[in-house]
Structure 1
Amino acid sequence: MSRTSALDTLIELTREAVDNAGRQLAGARRNQQQAQAQLDTLQHYRQEYSLRLQQAMQEGMEPASLLNYQAFLRSLDDAIDRARQSLGEQARQVGQHQQHWLEQQRKLNSYDTLVNRRMQAEQLRDSRSAQRLTDELSAQLRLRGNAFTASSGNSL
Protein backbone atom coordinates (compact mmCIF):
# COMPACT_ATOMS: atom_id res chain seq x y z
CA MET A 1 0.00 0.00 0.00
CA SER A 2 2.78 2.44 0.86
CA ARG A 3 4.52 1.66 -2.44
CA THR A 4 1.39 2.59 -4.35
CA SER A 5 0.92 5.83 -2.45
CA ALA A 6 4.62 6.68 -2.86
CA LEU A 7 4.30 5.97 -6.58
CA ASP A 8 1.13 8.09 -6.74
CA THR A 9 3.00 10.94 -5.06
CA LEU A 10 5.88 10.54 -7.50
CA ILE A 11 3.47 10.59 -10.45
CA GLU A 12 1.74 13.70 -9.13
CA LEU A 13 5.07 15.49 -8.66
CA THR A 14 6.16 14.49 -12.14
CA ARG A 15 2.87 15.73 -13.62
CA GLU A 16 3.51 19.08 -11.94
CA ALA A 17 7.04 19.08 -13.36
CA VAL A 18 5.64 18.36 -16.85
CA ASP A 19 3.15 21.21 -16.47
CA ASN A 20 5.88 23.61 -15.28
CA ALA A 21 8.18 22.56 -18.11
CA GLY A 22 5.32 23.10 -20.56
CA ARG A 23 4.70 26.60 -19.24
CA GLN A 24 8.41 27.41 -19.48
CA LEU A 25 8.49 26.07 -23.04
CA ALA A 26 5.48 28.16 -23.99
CA GLY A 27 7.14 31.26 -22.51
CA ALA A 28 10.36 30.56 -24.39
CA ARG A 29 8.41 30.17 -27.64
CA ARG A 30 6.63 33.48 -27.01
CA ASN A 31 10.00 35.15 -26.43
CA GLN A 32 11.32 33.61 -29.65
CA GLN A 33 8.31 34.91 -31.58
CA GLN A 34 8.83 38.37 -30.11
CA ALA A 35 12.51 38.31 -31.05
CA GLN A 36 11.57 37.22 -34.58
CA ALA A 37 8.98 40.01 -34.82
CA GLN A 38 11.56 42.56 -33.64
CA LEU A 39 14.08 41.32 -36.21
CA ASP A 40 11.46 41.44 -38.97
CA THR A 41 10.52 45.00 -37.99
CA LEU A 42 14.14 46.15 -37.98
CA GLN A 43 14.82 44.53 -41.36
CA HIS A 44 11.70 46.08 -42.83
CA TYR A 45 12.62 49.48 -41.42
CA ARG A 46 16.16 49.17 -42.82
CA GLN A 47 14.80 48.28 -46.24
CA GLU A 48 12.48 51.31 -46.21
CA TYR A 49 15.24 53.62 -45.02
CA SER A 50 17.56 52.26 -47.70
CA LEU A 51 14.94 53.01 -50.36
CA ARG A 52 14.60 56.56 -48.99
CA LEU A 53 18.37 56.97 -49.27
CA GLN A 54 18.33 55.83 -52.90
CA GLN A 55 15.50 58.24 -53.71
CA ALA A 56 17.26 61.09 -51.92
CA MET A 57 20.48 60.34 -53.81
CA GLN A 58 18.62 60.40 -57.15
CA GLU A 59 17.10 63.74 -56.27
CA GLY A 60 20.45 65.03 -55.08
CA MET A 61 21.53 65.47 -51.50
CA GLU A 62 24.17 67.16 -49.45
CA PRO A 63 27.18 65.16 -48.23
CA ALA A 64 26.22 65.73 -44.58
CA SER A 65 22.79 64.19 -45.18
CA LEU A 66 24.42 61.24 -46.94
CA LEU A 67 26.70 60.71 -43.94
CA ASN A 68 23.70 60.87 -41.61
CA TYR A 69 21.81 58.29 -43.68
CA GLN A 70 24.83 55.98 -43.76
CA ALA A 71 25.42 56.33 -40.01
CA PHE A 72 21.77 55.55 -39.33
CA LEU A 73 21.90 52.51 -41.64
CA ARG A 74 25.00 51.28 -39.77
CA SER A 75 23.16 51.64 -36.46
CA LEU A 76 20.21 49.72 -37.94
CA ASP A 77 22.62 47.02 -39.12
CA ASP A 78 24.05 46.79 -35.59
CA ALA A 79 20.54 46.52 -34.16
CA ILE A 80 19.71 43.81 -36.72
CA ASP A 81 22.85 41.88 -35.71
CA ARG A 82 21.86 42.11 -32.04
CA ALA A 83 18.31 41.02 -32.89
CA ARG A 84 19.69 38.01 -34.81
CA GLN A 85 21.84 37.09 -31.82
CA SER A 86 18.83 37.45 -29.54
CA LEU A 87 16.76 35.27 -31.87
CA GLY A 88 19.52 32.64 -31.86
CA GLU A 89 19.60 32.73 -28.06
CA GLN A 90 15.82 32.41 -27.91
CA ALA A 91 15.94 29.43 -30.29
CA ARG A 92 18.55 27.81 -28.03
CA GLN A 93 16.33 28.45 -25.00
CA VAL A 94 13.35 26.89 -26.79
CA GLY A 95 15.47 23.83 -27.56
CA GLN A 96 16.55 23.50 -23.94
CA HIS A 97 13.03 23.93 -22.59
CA GLN A 98 11.67 21.48 -25.14
CA GLN A 99 14.29 18.90 -24.15
CA HIS A 100 13.46 19.39 -20.47
CA TRP A 101 9.74 18.98 -21.18
CA LEU A 102 10.41 15.80 -23.17
CA GLU A 103 12.52 14.37 -20.33
CA GLN A 104 9.75 15.06 -17.81
CA GLN A 105 7.16 13.58 -20.16
CA ARG A 106 9.27 10.41 -20.63
CA LYS A 107 9.61 10.10 -16.86
CA LEU A 108 5.84 10.41 -16.43
CA ASN A 109 5.25 7.84 -19.17
CA SER A 110 7.60 5.39 -17.48
CA TYR A 111 5.73 5.80 -14.18
CA ASP A 112 2.42 5.28 -15.97
CA THR A 113 3.84 2.13 -17.55
CA LEU A 114 4.93 0.91 -14.13
CA VAL A 115 1.44 1.52 -12.73
CA ASN A 116 -0.15 -0.29 -15.68
CA ARG A 117 2.16 -3.29 -15.27
CA ARG A 118 1.40 -3.40 -11.57
CA MET A 119 -2.34 -3.30 -12.28
CA GLN A 120 -2.03 -6.06 -14.89
CA ALA A 121 -0.08 -8.22 -12.45
CA GLU A 122 -2.73 -7.60 -9.81
CA GLN A 123 -5.51 -8.52 -12.23
CA LEU A 124 -3.65 -11.69 -13.19
CA ARG A 125 -3.25 -12.63 -9.52
CA ASP A 126 -6.95 -11.95 -8.90
CA SER A 127 -7.91 -13.99 -11.94
CA ARG A 128 -5.73 -16.92 -10.88
CA SER A 129 -7.09 -16.72 -7.34
CA ALA A 130 -10.64 -16.75 -8.64
CA GLN A 131 -9.83 -19.69 -10.90
CA ARG A 132 -8.30 -21.63 -7.97
CA LEU A 133 -11.39 -20.94 -5.90
CA THR A 134 -13.63 -22.11 -8.74
CA ASP A 135 -11.51 -25.24 -9.21
CA GLU A 136 -11.64 -26.01 -5.48
CA LEU A 137 -15.41 -25.57 -5.39
CA SER A 138 -15.81 -27.81 -8.45
CA ALA A 139 -13.61 -30.47 -6.87
CA GLN A 140 -15.58 -30.34 -3.62
CA LEU A 141 -18.87 -30.63 -5.51
CA ARG A 142 -17.57 -33.65 -7.43
CA LEU A 143 -16.39 -35.26 -4.21
CA ARG A 144 -19.74 -34.68 -2.59
CA GLY A 145 -21.49 -35.94 -5.70
CA ASN A 146 -19.36 -39.07 -5.71
CA ALA A 147 -19.89 -39.56 -1.98
CA PHE A 148 -23.63 -39.12 -2.41
CA THR A 149 -23.72 -41.53 -5.34
CA ALA A 150 -21.68 -44.09 -3.39
CA SER A 151 -23.90 -43.85 -0.32
CA SER A 152 -27.06 -44.04 -2.45
CA GLY A 153 -25.77 -47.08 -4.27
CA ASN A 154 -25.03 -48.94 -1.02
CA SER A 155 -28.53 -48.61 0.28
CA LEU A 156 -30.08 -50.29 -2.75
Structure 2
Amino acid sequence: MILAYHAQLNSTDDETRLKAARAWTRWEMFTSKLHVDPAHVAEAEKDDWANAFARIENHYFMNDGWMRDGQLLDKQEIDKIRQIPCVVVQGRYDVICPATTAYALKKVWPEITLHIVPDAGHSSREPGTAKLLVEATDKFASL
Protein backbone atom coordinates (compact mmCIF):
# COMPACT_ATOMS: atom_id res chain seq x y z
CA MET A 1 0.00 0.00 0.00
CA ILE A 2 2.81 2.41 0.84
CA LEU A 3 4.42 1.88 -2.57
CA ALA A 4 1.08 2.27 -4.35
CA TYR A 5 0.40 5.51 -2.50
CA HIS A 6 3.94 6.69 -3.23
CA ALA A 7 3.24 6.47 -6.95
CA GLN A 8 -0.04 8.35 -6.61
CA LEU A 9 1.31 10.97 -4.19
CA ASN A 10 4.09 11.76 -6.65
CA SER A 11 1.90 11.74 -9.76
CA THR A 12 2.25 14.61 -12.20
CA ASP A 13 -1.56 14.67 -12.37
CA ASP A 14 -2.82 17.09 -9.72
CA GLU A 15 -6.16 15.34 -9.19
CA THR A 16 -4.54 11.91 -8.75
CA ARG A 17 -2.02 13.33 -6.28
CA LEU A 18 -4.64 15.27 -4.28
CA LYS A 19 -7.13 12.40 -4.19
CA ALA A 20 -4.44 10.12 -2.75
CA ALA A 21 -3.27 12.80 -0.31
CA ARG A 22 -6.77 13.42 1.02
CA ALA A 23 -7.39 9.67 1.45
CA TRP A 24 -4.04 9.10 3.21
CA THR A 25 -4.51 12.09 5.49
CA ARG A 26 -8.14 11.27 6.29
CA TRP A 27 -7.11 7.77 7.39
CA GLU A 28 -4.39 9.23 9.60
CA MET A 29 -6.76 11.78 11.13
CA PHE A 30 -9.38 9.11 11.89
CA THR A 31 -6.87 6.72 13.48
CA SER A 32 -4.53 9.04 15.36
CA LYS A 33 -6.76 9.98 18.28
CA LEU A 34 -8.73 7.84 20.69
CA HIS A 35 -11.76 10.09 20.23
CA VAL A 36 -12.15 11.25 16.64
CA ASP A 37 -12.06 15.03 16.38
CA PRO A 38 -14.10 16.32 13.40
CA ALA A 39 -11.94 19.46 13.20
CA HIS A 40 -8.85 17.26 13.01
CA VAL A 41 -10.42 15.16 10.24
CA ALA A 42 -11.38 18.34 8.34
CA GLU A 43 -7.67 19.10 7.93
CA ALA A 44 -7.57 16.24 5.40
CA GLU A 45 -9.82 18.23 3.07
CA LYS A 46 -7.37 21.14 2.84
CA ASP A 47 -5.49 20.29 -0.35
CA ASP A 48 -2.17 21.98 0.45
CA TRP A 49 -2.08 20.61 3.99
CA ALA A 50 -3.13 17.07 2.99
CA ASN A 51 -0.65 17.02 0.11
CA ALA A 52 2.27 18.07 2.31
CA PHE A 53 1.30 15.81 5.22
CA ALA A 54 0.76 12.68 3.12
CA ARG A 55 3.87 13.12 0.99
CA ILE A 56 6.16 13.76 3.97
CA GLU A 57 4.77 10.78 5.90
CA ASN A 58 4.89 8.50 2.86
CA HIS A 59 8.49 9.53 2.15
CA TYR A 60 9.39 8.63 5.74
CA PHE A 61 7.76 5.19 5.36
CA MET A 62 9.34 4.59 1.95
CA ASN A 63 12.74 5.10 3.57
CA ASP A 64 12.02 2.87 6.59
CA GLY A 65 12.26 5.84 8.91
CA TRP A 66 15.94 5.99 7.94
CA MET A 67 16.65 2.99 10.13
CA ARG A 68 16.95 -0.67 9.33
CA ASP A 69 14.09 -2.84 10.53
CA GLY A 70 14.52 -3.58 14.23
CA GLN A 71 17.56 -1.31 14.60
CA LEU A 72 16.27 0.43 17.71
CA LEU A 73 15.61 -2.91 19.39
CA ASP A 74 19.16 -4.17 18.77
CA LYS A 75 21.12 -4.28 22.04
CA GLN A 76 24.34 -3.17 20.32
CA GLU A 77 22.55 -0.14 18.90
CA ILE A 78 20.91 0.69 22.23
CA ASP A 79 24.29 0.47 23.94
CA LYS A 80 25.38 3.44 21.78
CA ILE A 81 22.64 5.64 23.25
CA ARG A 82 21.89 3.98 26.57
CA GLN A 83 23.41 6.86 28.58
CA ILE A 84 21.08 9.44 26.99
CA PRO A 85 18.05 10.17 29.17
CA CYS A 86 14.88 9.07 27.39
CA VAL A 87 11.19 9.38 28.10
CA VAL A 88 8.69 7.45 26.01
CA VAL A 89 5.08 8.61 26.08
CA GLN A 90 2.81 5.98 24.54
CA GLY A 91 -0.94 6.05 24.01
CA ARG A 92 -2.63 2.88 25.31
CA TYR A 93 -4.97 2.81 22.31
CA ASP A 94 -2.43 3.78 19.64
CA VAL A 95 -3.33 1.70 16.57
CA ILE A 96 -0.58 3.25 14.44
CA CYS A 97 2.34 2.42 16.76
CA PRO A 98 0.91 -0.13 19.21
CA ALA A 99 1.96 -0.11 22.84
CA THR A 100 3.77 -3.42 22.28
CA THR A 101 6.48 -1.44 20.46
CA ALA A 102 7.11 0.72 23.53
CA TYR A 103 7.23 -2.37 25.75
CA ALA A 104 9.72 -4.00 23.37
CA LEU A 105 11.94 -0.91 23.59
CA LYS A 106 11.69 -0.91 27.40
CA LYS A 107 12.86 -4.54 27.46
CA VAL A 108 16.10 -3.73 25.63
CA TRP A 109 16.53 -0.29 27.19
CA PRO A 110 15.27 -0.61 30.77
CA GLU A 111 16.74 2.79 31.71
CA ILE A 112 14.05 4.68 29.78
CA THR A 113 11.07 6.16 31.53
CA LEU A 114 7.95 4.72 29.93
CA HIS A 115 4.55 6.32 30.34
CA ILE A 116 1.46 4.59 28.98
CA VAL A 117 -1.33 7.14 28.64
CA PRO A 118 -4.53 5.26 29.50
CA ASP A 119 -6.89 7.47 27.47
CA ALA A 120 -4.88 8.25 24.34
CA GLY A 121 -4.12 7.01 20.88
CA HIS A 122 -1.26 8.06 18.60
CA SER A 123 -1.54 11.84 18.60
CA SER A 124 0.70 14.05 20.70
CA ARG A 125 -2.23 16.47 20.81
CA GLU A 126 -4.29 14.37 23.18
CA PRO A 127 -4.41 15.96 26.65
CA GLY A 128 -2.70 13.22 28.67
CA THR A 129 0.02 12.73 26.09
CA ALA A 130 0.65 16.45 25.66
CA LYS A 131 0.91 16.90 29.45
CA LEU A 132 3.54 14.17 29.80
CA LEU A 133 5.51 15.41 26.80
CA VAL A 134 5.65 18.93 28.26
CA GLU A 135 6.73 17.53 31.64
CA ALA A 136 9.52 15.52 29.96
CA THR A 137 10.64 18.57 27.98
CA ASP A 138 10.70 20.71 31.12
CA LYS A 139 12.75 18.03 32.90
CA PHE A 140 15.27 17.89 30.04
CA ALA A 141 15.57 21.67 30.01
CA SER A 142 17.20 21.50 33.43
CA LEU A 143 19.82 18.90 32.49
TM-score (norm 2): 0.21
TM-score (norm 1): 0.19
| Greater share of residues in strand | 2
**Could you say which structure has the larger radius of gyration?**
1
- Which of structures 1 and 2 has the larger relative contact order (alpha carbons within 8 angstroms, sep 6+)? 1
| Greater share of residues in helix | 1
